[in-house]
């Protein structure tokens, strides 16, 4: 029988083992990169949508109060009618927002301090994700 040299087979086997190890490294890097991209995607998602809606509601209250004050002044009405008018508007807004599962409350903070130029209104906005309470200072300047 002839003597067979197996060193060529050893090199081929080492090449296959090396290629397999390199493919495992590439798969591990792909998984690591994918998880990093996914984590960054989660971190940068906007979670302030409900907060933005609460702030928009606060701005809406301010604009409405300005309009009511301007109407009271132009009709020479007493400022004592501001509170019931504002609360009536708040009740309508509460019914509107209730359809979306949001609770809103609007109340005049200090009715005796209301003038044609300024008022303070307490605004409450509650949803499943956000609870927002603020005192909105209303003045006639835009």
Which residues is 103 bridged to in the sheet?
126
Longest dimension (CA), the chain: 123
Question: What is the model's pTM?
Answer: 0.62
How large is the average pLDDT for residues 79-99?
Answer: 90
Same-domain pairing of 30 and 65: no
Specify the number of domains making up the chain. 2
**Host domain of residue 21:** 7-38
Same-domain pairing of 81 and 107: yes
105 CB-near residues (< 8 Å, 6+ apart): 90, 94, 122, 123, 124
User: pLDDT tens for residues 16-45?
Assistant: 899 999 999 999 999 999 998 888 887 777
d(CA 5, CA 138): 95
């Amino acid at each position: 029988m002839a003597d067979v040299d197996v060193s060529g087979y050893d090199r081929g086997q080492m090449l296959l083992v090396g290629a397999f190890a390199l493919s495992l490294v590439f798969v591990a890097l792909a998984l690591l990169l994918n998880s990093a991209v996914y984590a960054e995607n989660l971190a940068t998602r906007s979670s302030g949508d409900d907060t933005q809606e609460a702030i928009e509601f606060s701005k809406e209250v301010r604009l409405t109060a300005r309009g009511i004050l301007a109407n009271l002044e132009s009709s020479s009405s007493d400022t004592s009618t501001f509170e019931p008018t504002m609360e009536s508007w708040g009740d309508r807004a509460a019914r509107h927002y209730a359809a979306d599962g949001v609770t809103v409350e609007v109340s005049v903070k200090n009715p005796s301090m209301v003038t044609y130029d300024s008022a303070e209104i307490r605004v409450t906005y509650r949803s499943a994700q956000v609870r927002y309470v603020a005192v909105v200072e209303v003045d006639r300047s835009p």
